[in-house]
Structure 1
């Protein structure tokens, strides 16, 4: 996938340079669970920051790109329990209806507002995998963050809650990571066992089939037209980085 990443980094850097200083360049990376979208989004943000630091050697610790996962917009376990069918809500956690789409749209609208001298830091929620719930206002997005690379399952969704489509239409770029279902399934099984979400491969496979890949069908069938389709292919460097990101995310 390195060639595809190089192309996207180049495109992002060029679009950033063309973006007025009063605006942010906003990119949404989506795909089914196990597609590799998290690795792609994080890699692009990191490499854009590397390019910026190369041009600004006196600001070695600075950055202009922010990687922003939408995990923090999971509904809390208490909110799921308050739903009309709490058992289904908990069992299907990760489906589009178990996310706070209106709150995510509110964040996107804030980030879409013009940048000015008075613009302050905006905070997004993160997700604490130890307690299995979001953490409010945990991810800072400073006024100097001119490139936002969002990552999440439903960022190019045109069906379901209307807020998903509205948020997608506010993005400058929509990218979709395409992957074969059997490849995603094997990745998910390994991930669920390694993170302790599942006790063994049988339990992990059941979770993948009854939750992740069901959500994946909704993601594919409801997908809007996107600017870039990235075909997920493994190589040694990519797999090593993806495993590192998965480990960090699941801790």
Structure 2
């Protein structure tokens, strides 16, 4: 049976064929925490780039493999988190810090500004557009860290609020060619988020992680569901190996290898060796890998 990813890749590739050289195809992927937005975005992006390079090589068989740059790129919403400093200066600072990840702890207008830039026609003088990323080690955005070159023809935006009916988010949603929503039930998503946050060392125990997830992440989930704008695709969230890109699959194998070797780093481990291992593990657990850890990424 054709996987959800392959269907979306084929469908998107077909629509891209109808774009002229000045047009970009913009897709937003939304869903509640733990639904698998990030893994889906990464896998569809990889599939589209593979389709492009295969198509190019068939058209120009004597060209070197991958002689052309990728055309599909992913921009996560993570980079549009407000910084810890900005949160600490809010009137409700304590709540804002605890609820980090809620819509009010993001900067939707900066996100809209970037989407507007990407939406403009590509011209000979067009230059690279830069979007922020999020550094999980320092827990803050990194400005101008994601490059969207003029050769980027398909841009996938993924995050909780890409289909939220609120100021800023609503306007960015209107600029998309398509919006997809990854459908997951609350209970399954809660368990996935609690597991990934515990694996990342955000909480000192699974029980603590589960409690925090229910009080924070799932409050965000209800807002995402209650204020969802129209979407063109509802994608079932499934634990399907075919969703995982090679990068995600390798991340999962690395984590399991650590566990098989008996290497485990507790959240409160302050020994030098433990801290180094923990730092290495966190550096690998980016927003894609966090979803893949322990097989809970979908």
Q: TM-score, normalised by structure 2?
A: 0.80
Aligned-residue Cα RMSD (Å) equals: 1.9
**Residue in 1 aligned with 2:172?**
167
Task: Compute the displacement of 1:210 (Å).
Answer: 0.8
Pick from 225, 241, 250: which aligns with 1:220? Answer: 225
**Unpaired runs of 5+ in structure 1?**
none
2:2 and 2:104 map into 1 onto residues whose CA distance is 34
Task: Compute the displacement of 1:110 (Å).
Answer: 0.3
2:32 and 2:250 map into 1 onto residues whose CA distance is 17
**Residue in 1 aligned with 2:118?**
111
Task: Compute the displacement of 1:184 (Å).
Answer: 0.4
Task: Compute the displacement of 1:55 (Å).
Answer: 1.6
| 1:229 has 2:234 as partner | yes
2:134, 2:142 within 8 Å by CA — same for their partners in 1? yes
1:203 and 1:2 map into 2 onto residues whose CA distance is 39
2:128 and 2:81 map into 1 onto residues whose CA distance is 22
Identify if the C-alpha distance between structure 1 residues 9 and 242 changes in structure 2 by more than 3 Å, giving closer, same or farther: same
**Residue in 2 aligned with 1:247?**
285
Pick from 140, 157, 170: which aligns with 2:164? Answer: 157
**TM-superposition CA deviations, 1:118-169 (whole Å, max 9, x none):** 000000000011110000001100000000011100000113xx11000000
**Unpaired runs of 5+ in structure 2?**
58-62, 253-283, 291-298
1:39, 1:242 within 8 Å by CA — same for their partners in 2? no
Identify if the C-alpha distance between structure 1 residues 65 and 72 changes in structure 2 by more than 3 Å, giving closer, same or farther: same
**Residue in 2 aligned with 1:202?**
207
**Residue in 2 aligned with 1:23?**
23
**TM-superposition CA deviations, 1:84-107 (whole Å, max 9, x none):** 110011011000010010000000
Q: TM-score, normalised by structure 1?
A: 0.94
Task: Compute the displacement of 1:242 (Å).
Answer: 7.2
Q: What are the residue-to-residue correspondences of 1:129-144 with 2, within 5 Å? A: 129-144=136-151
Q: What are the residue-to-residue correspondences of 1:5-84 with 2, within 5 Å? A: 5-57=5-57, 58=63, 60=66, 62-84=69-91
Task: Compute the displacement of 1:206 (Å).
Answer: 1.2
2:131, 2:146 within 8 Å by CA — same for their partners in 1? yes
SS of the residue corresponding to residue 17 of structure 2 reads helix
**Residue in 2 aligned with 1:90?**
97
1:28, 1:149 within 8 Å by CA — same for their partners in 2? yes
Shifted more, 25-34 versus 186-195: the winner is: 186-195
Larger Rg: 2
Task: Compute the displacement of 1:237 (Å).
Answer: 4.4
Identify if the C-alpha distance between structure 1 residues 97 and 243 changes in structure 2 by more than 3 Å, giving closer, same or farther: farther
Task: Compute the displacement of 1:248 (Å).
Answer: 3.2
Task: Compute the displacement of 1:239 (Å).
Answer: 6.6
2:215 and 2:186 map into 1 onto residues whose CA distance is 13
Identify if the C-alpha distance between structure 1 residues 12 and 237 changes in structure 2 by more than 3 Å, giving closer, same or farther: closer
SS of the residue corresponding to residue 49 of structure 2 reads helix
1:44 and 1:121 map into 2 onto residues whose CA distance is 22
Number of corresponding residues: 249
Task: Compute the displacement of 1:3 (Å).
Answer: 1.7
2:43, 2:244 within 8 Å by CA — same for their partners in 1? no
